[in-house]
Amino acid sequence: MMKKVITILVTLMLVCTLLLGISYSDASAFSKTPFSRTNIPAQMRVTASALNVRSGPSTYFQRVGMVYQDQIVDCIGRLGDWYIIHLDSDILGVASGRYLTPYYPPQAQPAPAPTLDPQADTIAEEVRDEAEKMLELVNAERAKVGAPALTLDSEVMRVAQFKAQDMVDRNYFSHNSPTYGSPFDMLKSFGVSYRTAGENLAGNISVERAHTSLMNSEGHRRNILNANYNRVGIGIVDSPKYGKIYVQMFIGR
Protein backbone atom coordinates (compact mmCIF):
# COMPACT_ATOMS: atom_id res chain seq x y z
CA MET A 1 0.00 0.00 0.00
CA MET A 2 2.77 2.46 0.94
CA LYS A 3 4.61 1.70 -2.29
CA LYS A 4 1.46 2.40 -4.31
CA VAL A 5 0.91 5.75 -2.57
CA ILE A 6 4.53 6.75 -3.18
CA THR A 7 4.19 5.80 -6.86
CA ILE A 8 1.06 7.94 -7.24
CA LEU A 9 2.74 10.87 -5.53
CA VAL A 10 5.80 10.66 -7.77
CA THR A 11 3.54 10.46 -10.83
CA LEU A 12 1.68 13.57 -9.71
CA MET A 13 4.94 15.45 -9.21
CA LEU A 14 6.14 14.48 -12.66
CA VAL A 15 2.86 15.46 -14.32
CA CYS A 16 2.85 18.81 -12.55
CA THR A 17 6.47 19.42 -13.54
CA LEU A 18 5.83 18.56 -17.17
CA LEU A 19 2.56 20.40 -17.61
CA LEU A 20 2.86 23.51 -15.51
CA GLY A 21 5.69 24.86 -13.43
CA ILE A 22 4.44 27.13 -10.64
CA SER A 23 4.79 30.86 -11.25
CA TYR A 24 6.61 33.20 -8.92
CA SER A 25 5.97 36.87 -8.32
CA ASP A 26 7.61 39.65 -6.36
CA ALA A 27 6.53 43.09 -5.20
CA SER A 28 7.26 44.62 -8.60
CA ALA A 29 6.02 41.91 -10.95
CA PHE A 30 3.35 39.36 -11.66
CA SER A 31 3.46 36.54 -14.18
CA LYS A 32 0.75 34.08 -15.07
CA THR A 33 1.16 30.31 -15.06
CA PRO A 34 1.84 29.31 -18.68
CA PHE A 35 -1.05 27.82 -20.59
CA SER A 36 -0.57 24.18 -21.65
CA ARG A 37 -2.80 22.13 -23.93
CA THR A 38 -4.35 19.07 -22.31
CA ASN A 39 -6.95 16.52 -23.42
CA ILE A 40 -9.38 17.82 -20.80
CA PRO A 41 -11.44 21.00 -20.40
CA ALA A 42 -9.29 24.04 -19.62
CA GLN A 43 -11.69 24.99 -16.83
CA MET A 44 -13.98 23.17 -14.41
CA ARG A 45 -16.98 24.26 -12.31
CA VAL A 46 -17.24 23.11 -8.69
CA THR A 47 -20.55 21.35 -7.95
CA ALA A 48 -20.04 20.62 -4.21
CA SER A 49 -20.82 23.28 -1.59
CA ALA A 50 -17.18 23.02 -0.49
CA LEU A 51 -14.46 20.85 -2.00
CA ASN A 52 -11.09 19.95 -0.53
CA VAL A 53 -8.06 20.40 -2.77
CA ARG A 54 -5.33 17.95 -1.79
CA SER A 55 -1.65 17.35 -2.49
CA GLY A 56 -2.38 13.99 -4.14
CA PRO A 57 -5.20 11.95 -5.72
CA SER A 58 -6.65 10.47 -2.53
CA THR A 59 -8.35 11.58 0.68
CA TYR A 60 -5.23 10.33 2.45
CA PHE A 61 -3.27 13.28 1.11
CA GLN A 62 -2.95 16.61 2.93
CA ARG A 63 -5.42 19.39 2.15
CA VAL A 64 -3.76 22.37 0.47
CA GLY A 65 -6.82 24.49 -0.26
CA MET A 66 -10.57 24.75 -0.69
CA VAL A 67 -12.87 25.63 -3.56
CA TYR A 68 -16.59 26.32 -3.39
CA GLN A 69 -19.79 25.72 -5.32
CA ASP A 70 -19.97 27.35 -8.78
CA GLN A 71 -16.33 28.45 -8.54
CA ILE A 72 -14.50 28.18 -11.88
CA VAL A 73 -10.99 26.72 -11.64
CA ASP A 74 -8.21 26.18 -14.18
CA CYS A 75 -7.69 22.49 -14.95
CA ILE A 76 -4.13 21.37 -15.71
CA GLY A 77 -4.34 17.60 -15.99
CA ARG A 78 -6.00 14.42 -14.82
CA LEU A 79 -5.00 11.45 -12.67
CA GLY A 80 -7.68 8.78 -12.80
CA ASP A 81 -10.86 10.29 -11.33
CA TRP A 82 -8.96 13.26 -9.89
CA TYR A 83 -8.13 16.56 -11.58
CA ILE A 84 -5.06 18.72 -11.12
CA ILE A 85 -6.27 22.27 -10.66
CA HIS A 86 -4.57 25.65 -10.30
CA LEU A 87 -5.91 27.89 -7.53
CA ASP A 88 -5.95 31.69 -7.50
CA SER A 89 -3.34 31.60 -4.74
CA ASP A 90 -0.98 30.02 -7.32
CA ILE A 91 -1.16 26.65 -5.59
CA LEU A 92 -1.40 23.36 -7.47
CA GLY A 93 -3.62 20.68 -6.00
CA VAL A 94 -5.83 17.72 -6.84
CA ALA A 95 -9.62 17.54 -6.45
CA SER A 96 -12.09 14.70 -6.93
CA GLY A 97 -13.76 14.60 -10.33
CA ARG A 98 -17.03 13.62 -8.66
CA TYR A 99 -17.53 17.26 -7.74
CA LEU A 100 -16.21 18.95 -10.88
CA THR A 101 -17.90 19.45 -14.22
CA PRO A 102 -16.48 20.92 -17.45
CA TYR A 103 -17.01 24.65 -17.87
CA TYR A 104 -17.01 26.44 -21.20
CA PRO A 105 -17.22 30.26 -21.01
CA PRO A 106 -20.38 31.51 -22.72
CA GLN A 107 -20.03 33.80 -25.68
CA ALA A 108 -22.93 36.21 -25.96
CA GLN A 109 -21.82 37.08 -29.47
CA PRO A 110 -19.25 35.75 -31.91
CA ALA A 111 -15.72 37.00 -31.39
CA PRO A 112 -14.90 40.05 -33.52
CA ALA A 113 -13.50 39.25 -36.92
CA PRO A 114 -9.71 39.42 -36.52
CA THR A 115 -9.08 41.95 -39.27
CA LEU A 116 -6.07 44.17 -38.87
CA ASP A 117 -6.76 47.87 -39.33
CA PRO A 118 -4.13 50.61 -39.80
CA GLN A 119 -4.40 51.63 -36.14
CA ALA A 120 -3.59 48.08 -35.03
CA ASP A 121 -0.54 48.07 -37.29
CA THR A 122 0.54 51.42 -35.82
CA ILE A 123 0.31 50.02 -32.30
CA ALA A 124 2.49 47.07 -33.31
CA GLU A 125 5.08 49.45 -34.80
CA GLU A 126 5.21 51.52 -31.60
CA VAL A 127 6.20 48.49 -29.54
CA ARG A 128 8.51 46.86 -32.08
CA ASP A 129 11.69 48.24 -30.49
CA GLU A 130 10.73 46.87 -27.07
CA ALA A 131 9.63 43.58 -28.61
CA GLU A 132 12.99 43.22 -30.35
CA LYS A 133 14.76 44.01 -27.07
CA MET A 134 12.78 41.25 -25.35
CA LEU A 135 13.54 38.90 -28.25
CA GLU A 136 17.27 39.56 -27.80
CA LEU A 137 17.01 38.63 -24.11
CA VAL A 138 15.04 35.48 -24.94
CA ASN A 139 17.47 34.36 -27.65
CA ALA A 140 20.44 34.99 -25.36
CA GLU A 141 18.91 32.54 -22.87
CA ARG A 142 18.19 30.01 -25.62
CA ALA A 143 21.79 30.23 -26.86
CA LYS A 144 23.03 29.22 -23.40
CA VAL A 145 21.22 25.87 -23.66
CA GLY A 146 21.83 25.29 -27.36
CA ALA A 147 18.25 26.03 -28.48
CA PRO A 148 17.87 27.69 -31.90
CA ALA A 149 17.11 31.39 -31.96
CA LEU A 150 13.50 32.48 -32.34
CA THR A 151 12.36 34.65 -35.23
CA LEU A 152 9.98 37.53 -34.56
CA ASP A 153 6.90 36.63 -36.63
CA SER A 154 4.86 39.67 -37.72
CA GLU A 155 1.55 37.77 -37.89
CA VAL A 156 1.99 36.19 -34.46
CA MET A 157 3.11 39.56 -33.12
CA ARG A 158 -0.17 41.13 -34.24
CA VAL A 159 -2.12 38.37 -32.48
CA ALA A 160 -0.08 38.92 -29.31
CA GLN A 161 -0.73 42.65 -29.54
CA PHE A 162 -4.48 42.10 -29.85
CA LYS A 163 -4.36 39.81 -26.80
CA ALA A 164 -2.42 42.35 -24.73
CA GLN A 165 -4.83 45.13 -25.70
CA ASP A 166 -7.83 42.93 -24.92
CA MET A 167 -6.42 42.16 -21.45
CA VAL A 168 -6.09 45.88 -20.70
CA ASP A 169 -9.45 46.86 -22.22
CA ARG A 170 -11.38 44.11 -20.40
CA ASN A 171 -9.30 44.26 -17.21
CA TYR A 172 -8.37 40.58 -16.92
CA PHE A 173 -5.16 38.56 -16.62
CA SER A 174 -5.71 35.10 -18.05
CA HIS A 175 -4.77 32.86 -20.95
CA ASN A 176 -8.47 32.42 -21.72
CA SER A 177 -9.77 35.60 -23.32
CA PRO A 178 -13.50 36.41 -23.01
CA THR A 179 -13.20 37.78 -26.55
CA TYR A 180 -10.97 35.30 -28.37
CA GLY A 181 -10.96 32.14 -26.23
CA SER A 182 -7.74 30.17 -25.60
CA PRO A 183 -4.41 31.17 -27.19
CA PHE A 184 -4.76 28.20 -29.53
CA ASP A 185 -8.25 29.25 -30.63
CA MET A 186 -7.07 32.81 -31.08
CA LEU A 187 -4.11 31.88 -33.26
CA LYS A 188 -6.34 29.74 -35.47
CA SER A 189 -9.01 32.46 -35.76
CA PHE A 190 -6.32 34.85 -37.00
CA GLY A 191 -5.28 32.31 -39.61
CA VAL A 192 -1.94 31.41 -37.98
CA SER A 193 -0.97 27.79 -38.56
CA TYR A 194 1.30 25.97 -36.13
CA ARG A 195 2.47 22.53 -35.08
CA THR A 196 2.94 23.42 -31.43
CA ALA A 197 2.24 26.61 -29.48
CA GLY A 198 2.44 28.21 -26.06
CA GLU A 199 1.89 31.53 -24.32
CA ASN A 200 3.57 33.52 -21.54
CA LEU A 201 1.96 36.51 -19.83
CA ALA A 202 3.64 39.05 -17.58
CA GLY A 203 2.82 42.39 -16.01
CA ASN A 204 5.73 44.67 -15.20
CA ILE A 205 7.22 48.13 -15.69
CA SER A 206 10.02 47.24 -18.12
CA VAL A 207 11.17 44.62 -20.60
CA GLU A 208 14.12 43.66 -18.41
CA ARG A 209 12.02 43.15 -15.28
CA ALA A 210 9.35 41.21 -17.15
CA HIS A 211 12.04 38.96 -18.65
CA THR A 212 13.61 38.34 -15.24
CA SER A 213 10.23 37.50 -13.72
CA LEU A 214 9.47 35.00 -16.49
CA MET A 215 12.90 33.37 -16.30
CA ASN A 216 12.49 32.95 -12.53
CA SER A 217 9.35 30.89 -13.10
CA GLU A 218 10.01 27.29 -14.14
CA GLY A 219 6.99 27.01 -16.42
CA HIS A 220 7.60 30.28 -18.24
CA ARG A 221 11.31 29.49 -18.49
CA ARG A 222 10.39 26.15 -20.10
CA ASN A 223 8.39 27.97 -22.79
CA ILE A 224 11.23 30.44 -23.43
CA LEU A 225 13.81 27.65 -23.82
CA ASN A 226 11.59 25.16 -25.67
CA ALA A 227 13.52 23.99 -28.74
CA ASN A 228 10.26 23.00 -30.47
CA TYR A 229 9.40 26.66 -30.96
CA ASN A 230 11.01 28.62 -33.79
CA ARG A 231 8.83 31.74 -34.02
CA VAL A 232 7.44 34.21 -31.49
CA GLY A 233 5.13 37.19 -31.38
CA ILE A 234 5.46 39.74 -28.57
CA GLY A 235 2.65 42.13 -27.68
CA ILE A 236 3.21 45.06 -25.30
CA VAL A 237 0.50 47.46 -24.09
CA ASP A 238 0.53 50.10 -21.34
CA SER A 239 -1.40 48.97 -18.28
CA PRO A 240 -2.66 51.16 -15.40
CA LYS A 241 -2.34 48.16 -13.06
CA TYR A 242 1.02 46.63 -13.98
CA GLY A 243 2.81 49.35 -15.93
CA LYS A 244 2.77 47.23 -19.07
CA ILE A 245 1.29 43.92 -20.17
CA TYR A 246 3.64 41.59 -22.05
CA VAL A 247 2.30 38.71 -24.16
CA GLN A 248 4.71 36.17 -25.63
CA MET A 249 3.13 33.80 -28.14
CA PHE A 250 5.39 30.97 -29.25
CA ILE A 251 4.77 28.68 -32.21
CA GLY A 252 6.63 25.85 -33.87
CA ARG A 253 6.24 24.90 -37.52
Residues 37-82: tens digit of each pLDDT: 445 667 888 999 889 999 988 899 999 988 888 888 888 788 888 9
Does residue 250 register a pLDDT over 50? yes
DSSP state, 110? P
Q: How far apart are CA 236 and CA 208, in angstroms?
A: 13
Cα radius of gyration rounded to whole Å, the chain: 19
Element (H, E) at 220: helix 218-225
For residue 177, what are the β-bridge partners?
Answer: 181
- CB distance 94 to 82 below 8 Å: yes
Task: Give the whole-number percent of the chain exceeding pLDDT 90.
Answer: 42
Average pLDDT over residues 178-199: 90
Residue 119, pLDDT score:
46
Residue 78, pLDDT score:
81
DSSP state string for 134-173: HHHHHHHHHHHTTPPPPEE-HHHHHHHHHHHHHHHHTT--
Average pLDDT over residues 168-185: 89
